[in-house]
A and B are shown apart, each in its own frame.
Chain A
Amino acid sequence: MLNGVFEWEKPLIELEKKIEELRRFTKEEGIDFSAEIATLESRAENLRHDIYSRLTPWQKVMIARHPRRPTCLDYIELIFDDFFELHGDRTIRDDPAMVGGIALLEGRPVTVIGPQKGKDTKDNIARNFGLPHPEGYRKALRLMRQAEKFRRPIISLIDVVGAYPGIEAEQRGQGVVIAENIRQMSFLKVPIICVVTGEGGSGGALAIGVGDRILMLENAWYSVCSPEMCAQILWKDTKKAEEAAESLCLTAQDLLAWKVIDEIIPEPPGGAHRNHETVAMTLKEALLRHLQELEAQGADELVAKRIDRYRQIGVVW
């Protein structure tokens, strides 16, 4: 990838640049290139369809990791009217790799949580590349319990390659907090909508991923672990990640077929990084629609259906 452009989309990007140039030329020099522009645009349209409708699972993984892909805080900024961030797990510290707080969605208060990746190297180091420690998950759980107390719906924006694998993380019980989050989220008496916006890797994603509706962006991936980790565990070779991505069936389309997710949120051609606003507005519409459906249900009905949903996954006999 060079300057945020993938190898496989280079011909398209060059064509788009050419069209842009012709447009500028038309404007600056007053020469009419509209016929040429129209031809090029139709060619670009075909090319766009050609390239983006045939993305391999590995290409999707790459798009999901694009450095300019919207992060949790970007979505919060674009979708909600207001956001007040709440910090800390009340035990050890505040984990900057996980953000959360109260936001207004079309005027109604909701609790939003999600792992936060950095915007640049410095930010990424501060945010531990969006890999939460146990205290990050504990903070998320604290905010979700608070949401239940005040009957606020919960929106979880998931973009995490996995829970942080480090010495302190293990000391503070990474496995235990993930199990605890999964258990408690399963029984919270408020609507929970989870959206896999980028990466959804392993227990680190599921620890904030149990809900009544699971939505997934078109180019996001979600699986038992990252393709690299899978390749490492099965074949002791991270270079086989592309092969692992093929085998894991980790795309939104696969997960919809398995009924693990409920809906795919379309992205602009090329990926969410090419137009943050468009994808945020599509997501907002979906959130409002699902929230309306969920809020019509009683709390007990909500929990019963949630449990039943997971009970059915993997029953194949």
Chain B
Amino acid sequence: MLSVFWGKQKYVTIKPREPSSGPVADGLWTRCPSCSSLLYTKELTKNLSVCDRCSHHFRMSAWDRVLHLLDADSFQEIDQDLEGGNPLGFSGYEQKLAKSREKTGLTEACLTGEGRLSGHQLVFGAIDFGFIGGTMGTVVGEKVCRAFEYALTKRLPVVMVSAGGGGARMHEGILSLMQMAKTSQAVERHSQAGLLYICVLTDPTMGGIYASFASLADIILAEPQALIGFAGPRVVEETIRQKLPSGFQRAEFALNNGMVDAIIERKELRKVLARLLLYHDRGGRQLC
């Protein structure tokens, strides 16, 4: 029986190591792209997807954000049925959407709903980077808009966790661009009613999402090392034909340049949001 194997391959090919900057693996072990440590995936998840050696913040899915930040079982998703098509007839877009839906279990790159954070009722939204880079097309624009309108009707604060990698979604062309105007206007109408909006910029928040609703919050927080900016670093590098300084467009760069209010580590985020929501609570609760 064993003779089948003999006399065949003498050498076992060992695949070269995955590049250390590779994506997060689904397997038992995950390599940290920052310090290259091998991390036990279960432990990593338990640690809110933060490397316990170098505190690198891995990207989190939209649902993981809900689980992390909101009170257990308090989240009620809204507009979960909104699904877009391929308005421009952009080649390959349907397949891309189908693949993203399968991969993330989401209908689109944005998850919105009502829930509670440490007892504070609010409207919560999160962008999922796994869905076409967390880009904003018509459905994401519409969902963000509806979330703010819902919050306005119910007079609730909004917390958005944004990770819109490429910003506006190419495949929907001008219609994606117009979502920047639409969402900015929804934010402003919510704001004019005296309501609070906090945005947490996570890795990466770029382009059309950064240049619209993500920048217009009353309080802007950022996760450590998150890439934040308008033009992608590659575009900047190609334009100026120089190497970019280290730390360019990272959260710390944004803080130093006055673009965000504070950098908050993930393990502190829930507490900080609760504190800020409490400061703006109009329920007349006594602050101690």
B206: chain A residues at CB < 8 Å are 175
**B184 x A179 contact (CB < 8 A):** yes
Within 8 A of A (CB), among B163-214: 166-170, 172-182, 184-185, 187-189, 206-208, 210-214
**Of listed B90, B187, B232, residue having the most chain A CB within 10 A:** B90
Which of B231, B236, B259 has a CB less than 8 Å from the CB of A173?
B259
Q: Which of B7-15, B16-24, B39-47, B138-146 contacts A (4 or more CB under 8 A)?
A: B138-146
Which of A167, A234, A255 has a CB less than 8 Å from the CB of B170?
A234
**A167 x B245 contact (CB < 8 A):** yes
**A167 x B248 contact (CB < 8 A):** yes
Known: A170-B248, A179-B216, A183-B184. A229 touches B178 (CB 8 A): no
Count residues of A near B (Cβ-Cβ below 8 Å): 51
Q: Which residue of A lies closest to B140 (CB)?
A: A314
Q: How far is the CB of B256 from chain A (nearest CB, A)?
A: 9
Within 8 A of B (CB), among A151-202: 162-167, 169-176, 178-180, 182-183, 186-187, 202
Complexed CA–CA distance, A202 and B173 (Å): 9
Complexed CA–CA distance, A110 and B83 (Å): 43
**A183 x B141 contact (CB < 8 A):** no
**B235 x A229 contact (CB < 8 A):** yes
Within 8 A of B (CB), among A278-317: 307, 310-311, 313-317
**B230 x A316 contact (CB < 8 A):** no
Residue A230, interface by CB 8 Å: yes
B184: chain A residues at CB < 8 Å are 179, 182-183, 186
Complexed CA–CA distance, A311 and B201 (Å): 25
Known: A183-B184, A248-B88. A224 touches B231 (CB 8 A): no
Known: A223-B174, A233-B166. A316 touches B85 (CB 8 A): yes
Which of A232, A234, A249, A310 has a CB less than 8 Å from the CB of B174?
A249
Residue A206, interface by CB 8 Å: yes
**A179 x B215 contact (CB < 8 A):** yes
**A224 x B173 contact (CB < 8 A):** yes
Q: Which residue of B lies closest to A176 (CB)?
A: B215
Residue B288, interface by CB 8 Å: no
A229: chain B residues at CB < 8 Å are 235
Within 8 A of B (CB), among A231-261: 232-234, 247-250, 254-255, 258, 260
Which of B166, B174, B210, B215 has a CB less than 8 Å from the CB of A222?
B174
Known: A179-B212, A314-B141. A165 touches B181 (CB 8 A): no
A258: chain B residues at CB < 8 Å are 87, 174-175
Q: Which residue of A lies closest to B88 (CB)?
A: A249
Residue B246, interface by CB 8 Å: no
Complexed CA–CA distance, A234 and B88 (Å): 15
A174: chain B residues at CB < 8 Å are 211, 229-231
**B248 x A316 contact (CB < 8 A):** no
Residue B112, interface by CB 8 Å: no
Residue B244, interface by CB 8 Å: yes
B179: chain A residues at CB < 8 Å are 313-314
Which of A163, A176, A307 has a CB less than 8 Å from the CB of B259?
A176
Count residues of B near A (Cβ-Cβ below 8 Å): 62
**B231 x A169 contact (CB < 8 A):** yes
Complexed CA–CA distance, A167 and B249 (Å): 9
Residue A220, interface by CB 8 Å: no
**B230 x A224 contact (CB < 8 A):** no
Residue B272, interface by CB 8 Å: no
Complexed CA–CA distance, A194 and B173 (Å): 19
Known: A167-B236, A176-B259, A186-B185. A314 touches B178 (CB 8 A): yes
Residue B258, interface by CB 8 Å: yes
Residue A114, interface by CB 8 Å: no
Residue B82, interface by CB 8 Å: yes
**A307 x B175 contact (CB < 8 A):** no
Q: How far is the CB of A309 from chain B (nearest CB, A)?
A: 9
**Of listed A203, A223, A229, A230, residue having the most chain B CB within 10 A:** A203
Complexed CA–CA distance, A167 and B238 (Å): 12
A307: chain B residues at CB < 8 Å are 185, 189
Apart from A165-B232, A167-B248, what 10 extra A-B contacts exist at CB < 8 Å? A169-B231, A170-B248, A171-B257, A173-B259, A175-B210, A203-B177, A223-B173, A225-B168, A311-B145, A316-B87
A contact set with B: CB distance below 8 Å: 162-167, 169-176, 178-180, 182-183, 186-187, 202-203, 206-207, 210, 222-225, 229-230, 232-234, 247-250, 254-255, 258, 260, 307, 310-311, 313-317
* Pairs across A and B, CB under 8 Å, 29 listed: A163-B230, A166-B239, A170-B231, A170-B249, A175-B206, A178-B180, A179-B184, A179-B211, A179-B214, A182-B211, A183-B187, A186-B181, A187-B188, A203-B211, A206-B180, A207-B211, A223-B177, A233-B232, A234-B170, A247-B88, A249-B88, A250-B173, A254-B174, A311-B182, A313-B178, A314-B87, A314-B142, A314-B178, A315-B138
B contact set with A: CB distance below 8 Å: 82-85, 87-88, 90-91, 137-138, 141-142, 145, 166-170, 172-182, 184-185, 187-189, 206-208, 210-216, 228-232, 234-236, 239-240, 244-245, 248-249, 253, 257-259
* Pairs A-B, 6 closest by C-beta atoms: A165-B231, A314-B138, A175-B230, A179-B215, A178-B211, A174-B230
